[in-house]
A and B are shown apart, each in its own frame.
Chain A
Amino acid sequence: DVKVTQSSRYLVKRTGEKVFLECVQDMDHENMFWYRQDPGLGLRLIYFSYDVKMKEKGDIPEGYSVSREKKERFSLILESASTNQTSMYLCASRPPGPSNQPQHFGDGTRLSIL
């Protein structure tokens, strides 16, 4: 089974801090994604990466950056955390190829910015 592991289930940080969310997958997938999930807004794509050192902006990249130095690891960075970035953050990965390859999700990091 594909395993997508997010380093923290719950995280509390202060406004202005630089925050790192880590995601690791064990299936050698090229494609990795970061979403945030908010009540009433659903899942929104922040950034994605098709391969090592490659990144593409999603629908809501403002205030975030990403890093993909190794294939298995995709990091989401909040450069200067703000209270409106309090959310559930979900990482996903999928192999390249036909669209019937599903995205596999981690269990999420619930981030609170105080």
Chain B
Amino acid sequence: QKEVEQDPGPLSVPEGAIVSLNCTYSNSAFQYFMWYRQYSRKGPELLMYTYSSGNKEDGRFTAQVDKSSKYISLFIRDSQPSDSATYLCAMTRGSNYKLTFGKGTLLTVNP
């Protein structure tokens, strides 16, 4: 079983849709969870960061962590064409440990 599983998509939605992106993981030691957004031909940029279980909201984006199920989600409300990108989940045990990434989900928001 891979440490982090992420559906690669592609996922195509109409503008204004609610998007749900998900990752599952197997290592119960992971405590810090991140979502990165990567536009074509660019490096990943940090979108959301959460520690342990719970929700975090930032504008149209909500990150959710369920440690009991080893499941994290990123919700995008009122999706825009500018949200079209690859979304990578990432997680780590702590500051002295490396990040483990999901393979990324390619999202296209159609105008």
Contacts and interface: CB of A to CB of B under 8 A. Distances in A.
Contacts of B92: 99
Q: Give chain B's interface residue range (CB within 8 Å of chain A).
A: 20 to 34
Contacts of B41: 107-108
B9 interface: no
Contacts of B102: 42
B44 A58 contact: no
B44 A105 contact: yes
B101 to A, nearest CB: 4
Interface in B60-111: 88, 92, 94-95, 98-99, 101-104
Contact of B46 (A98, A103, A108): A103
B23 to A, nearest CB: 11
B57 interface: no
B42 A43 contact: no
A29 B61 CA distance: 28
Contact of A99 (B42, B46, B94): B94
A75 B68 CA distance: 40
Q: Give chain A's interface residue range (CB within 8 Å of chain B).
A: 20 to 34
Contacts of A81: none
A41 interface: yes
B32 A100 contact: yes
A96 B101 contact: no
A84 interface: no
Interface of B: 8, 31-32, 34, 36, 41-46, 49, 51, 88, 92, 94-95, 98-99, 101-104
15 contacts: A4-B43, A42-B88, A42-B101, A90-B43, A96-B95, A99-B31, A99-B32, A99-B94, A99-B95, A100-B32, A100-B49, A104-B46, A105-B45, A107-B41, A107-B42
Given A43-B44, A100-B32, A108-B43, 7 more contacts: A42-B101, A43-B101, A90-B43, A90-B44, A99-B92, A105-B44, A108-B42
- In the A-B complex, the 7 residue pairs with the closest CB atoms: A105-B43, A42-B103, A102-B46, A99-B32, A99-B95, A43-B101, A107-B43
